[in-house]
């Protein structure tokens, strides 16, 4: 079937050219699906917000728990041995996991002693802050397409928790297009509302995606106004074209999309600098807490917002290369009462720290803010990493930032809060 302009690619025979993913594929049955999902949630865009295999009083809450603002996603992954199945297997697993999700959501709504841990932080589950509870069942199997709501609603007229079902293959392809926490949560929130109005077939996420983009635009136009919705829609058109490898080098639309991954590389750079002990575990000290706060601030950006700030970062790098001088651009978010700065400079060490500190203090004073984040990197590195990212977007490689780009950027991040 031909794709329309808002369809995602879900070709079953697309190659996974990644050593880590190939290693996961060789894991024993029962571990592969879970490791795949945790891998996709672990890159720089959401590793901070995802908690693999969270436990409470010796019992596992979920395969993965994704925490974002006032939303929690309880994610369960199930795998069919041999992969191919009929719909009866899916029905059985969906009903099984629905029961498990309902039980844990009930506990999450009343137990104020649940602790969540990942490699970056340990927190108490924010019971009072969570308003929306979602369940996501990821099934690693192939079968005839089916409407999962027929099973989810089998013993009731309504869902007590907003639970959705997607195949692992479809999730893998979806993350080429929806790959920040903000975008992921908004996509599945909208997808759930859409599922209550029309059947959404598992194994047909290309069709679901097309319908849901329209639903998201409608919701956004209602909530934030048509102008903001139009900006988002325009960027989603570019995202789809870039992810479908329909843009060429030199295209300004590719530049707009690819420059956003400079923010991903900056996040990765911060995490790479986090201090570790001899066992490779992070050392929880003030430096680490500041770095992870910087990760939190940057990784909460949507792909559209990353594109905006990444474009500024790239522009400053090009101006610095042309002039031979340091270049930087500052801005502010009135809604968040936060200042931002993106700096292209070859300064390093103590000189760089003092330079960033001077920019930060001056910017916060001018904006009347107490919180700010400032990102710096050598201009040659910024431009080179951008070119690499644009190249692999054209050459049909993964849409996830790779370690070599993170290390090549050599970013430095200063998070400051004077409150």
* Res 194 pLDDT > 50: yes
Q: Copy the structure tokens of residue 202.
A: 């598992």
pLDDT digits (tens, 9 = 90+) for 134-185: 999 999 888 999 999 999 988 776 678 999 999 988 888 898 899 899 999 9
> How many secondary structure helices (H) and strands (E) does the chain include?
15, 15
Q: What is the mean pLDDT of residues 114-132?
A: 92
152/261 same-domain check: no
Q: Containing domain of residue 79, as a range? A: 19-242
Range in 34-48, 172-186, 319-333, 398-412 the model is least confident about: 34-48
Alpha-carbon distance of 393 to 256, in angstroms, equals: 12
User: What pLDDT is attached to residue 35?
Assistant: 75
pLDDT for residue 11: 47
Q: What pLDDT, on the 0 to 100 scale, is given for residue 14?
A: 44
pLDDT at res. 162: 94
Whether residue 376 sits in one domain with residue 232:
no
Whether residue 61 contacts residue 74, with contact meaning beta carbons closer than 8 Å, is answered with yes
Question: Is residue 44 domain-resident?
Answer: yes
Q: pLDDT tens digits for 331-389?
A: 999 888 999 999 999 999 999 999 999 999 999 999 999 999 999 999 999 999 999 99
Q: Specify the CATH number for the domain of residue 129.
A: 3.40.91
316 and 222 belong to one structural domain: no
Give 207-211's long-range contacts (Cβ < 8 A, gap of 24+): 207/7, 209/6, 209/7, 209/8, 209/174, 209/177, 210/4, 210/6, 210/7
Residue 147, domain member (yes or no): yes
Q: Is residue 247 part of a domain?
A: no
Domain total for the chain?
2
Shared-domain flag, residues 404 and 263: yes
Same domain membership, residue 120 and residue 100:
yes
Question: What is the pLDDT averaged over residues 92-110?
Answer: 95
Q: For residue 129, give every residue at least 6 positions away whose Cβ sits within 8 Å of its Cβ, in sequence order, or none.
A: 69, 70
pLDDT of residue 293: 87
pTM of the model as a whole? 0.90
Final residue of a domain: which of 194, 218, 242?
Answer: 242
Kindly state whether residue 13 falls inside one of the protein's structural domains.
no
What pLDDT was estimated at residue 84? 80
Q: Are 170 and 209 in contact (CB under 8 A)?
A: no
Does a structural domain hold residue 6? no
68 and 118, same domain (yes or no):
yes
Same-domain pairing of 108 and 221:
yes
User: Is residue 270 one of the residues assigned to a domain?
Assistant: yes
Asked if residue 220 and residue 256 are part of one domain, the reply reads no
* 328 lies in the same domain as 214: no
Domain boundary among 212, 242, 272: 242
- Spatial distance between the Cα atoms of 254 and 232, rounded to a whole number of angstroms: 16
Would you place residue 4 in the very low, low, confident or very high pLDDT band (cuts 50, 70, 90)?
Answer: low
pLDDT tens profile 42-76:
655 567 899 999 999 999 999 999 999 999 999 99
Which of 242, 270, 304 delimits the end of a domain? 242
Which segment of 31-35, 80-84, 111-115, 304-308 scores lowest on mean pLDDT?
A: 31-35
- What's the CA angle centered on 292, arms 67 and 107, to 5 degrees? 25
Same domain flag for 220 and 256: no
> Could you read off the pLDDT of 255-311 as tens digits, one per residue?
999 999 999 999 887 777 777 788 877 787 888 888 888 888 999 999 999 999 999
For residue 287, what pLDDT is reported? 80
Does the structure show a pLDDT above 50 at 13?
A: no
pLDDT class of 26 with cuts at 50, 70, 90: confident
Query: Does 184 share its domain with 264?
Result: no
- Name the CA radius of gyration of the chain, rounded: 22
pLDDT in tens, 218-229: 999 999 999 999
129 has a pLDDT exceeding 50: yes
Residue 32 within a domain: yes
Q: Quick one: pLDDT at residue 23? A: 65
The answer as to whether 120 is a domain residue is yes
Kindly state whether residues 133 and 152 are assigned to the same domain. Answer: yes
CA–CA distance from 129 to each of 143, 159, 253 (Å)? Answer: 39, 22, 38
């Amino acid at each position: 079937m031909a794709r329309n302009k808002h369809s995602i690619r879900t070709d079953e025979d697309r190659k996974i050219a990644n050593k880590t993913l190939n290693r996961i594929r060789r894991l024993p049955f029962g571990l592969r699906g879970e490791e795949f999902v945790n891998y996709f949630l672990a890159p720089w865009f959401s590793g901070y917000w995802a908690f693999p295999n969270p436990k409470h009083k010796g019992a596992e809450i979920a395969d993965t728990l994704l925490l974002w603002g006032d939303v929690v996603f309880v994610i369960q992954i199930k795998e069919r041995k041999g992969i191919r199945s009929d719909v009866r297997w899916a029905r059985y697993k969906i009903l099984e996991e629905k029961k498990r999700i309902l039980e844990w959501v009930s506990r999450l709504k009343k137990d104020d002693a649940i602790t969540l841990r990942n490699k970056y932080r340990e927190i108490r589950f924010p019971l009072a802050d969570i308003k929306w509870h979602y369940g996501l069942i990821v099934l690693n199997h192939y079968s005839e397409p089916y409407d999962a709501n027929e099973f989810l609603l089998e013993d009731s007229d309504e869902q007590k928790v907003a639970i959705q079902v997607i195949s692992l293959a479809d999730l893998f392809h979806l993350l080429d297009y929806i790959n920040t926490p903000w975008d992921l949560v908004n996509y599945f929130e909208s997808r759930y509302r859409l599922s209550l109005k029309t059947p959404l077939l598992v194994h047909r996420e290309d069709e679901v995606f097309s319908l849901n983009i329209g639903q998201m635009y409608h919701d956004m136009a209602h909530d934030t106004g048509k102008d903001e919705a139009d900006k988002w829609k325009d960027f989603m058109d570019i995202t789809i074209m870039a992810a479908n490898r329909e843009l060429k080098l030199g295209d300004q639309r590719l530049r707009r999309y690819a420059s956003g991954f400079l923010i991903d590389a900056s996040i990765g750079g911060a995490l790479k600098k986090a201090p570790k002990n001899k066992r490779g575990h992070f050392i929880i000290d003030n430096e680490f807490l500041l770095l992870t706060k910087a990760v939190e601030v940057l990784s909460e950006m949507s792909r559209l917002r990353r594109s905006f700030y990444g474009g500024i970062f790239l522009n400053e790098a090009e101006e610095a290369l042309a002039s031979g001088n340091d270049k930087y651009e500052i801005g502010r978010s009135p809604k968040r009462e936060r200042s931002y700065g993106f700096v292209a400079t070859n300064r390093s060490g103590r000189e760089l720290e003092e330079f960033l500190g001077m920019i930060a203090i001056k910017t916060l004073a001018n904006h009347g803010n107490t919180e700010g984040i400032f990102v710096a990197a050598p201009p040659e590195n910024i431009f080179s990493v951008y070119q690499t990212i644009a190249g692999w977007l054209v050459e049909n490689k993964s849409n996830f930032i790779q370690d070599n780009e993170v290390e090549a950027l050599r970013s430095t991040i200063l998070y400051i809060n004077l409150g």
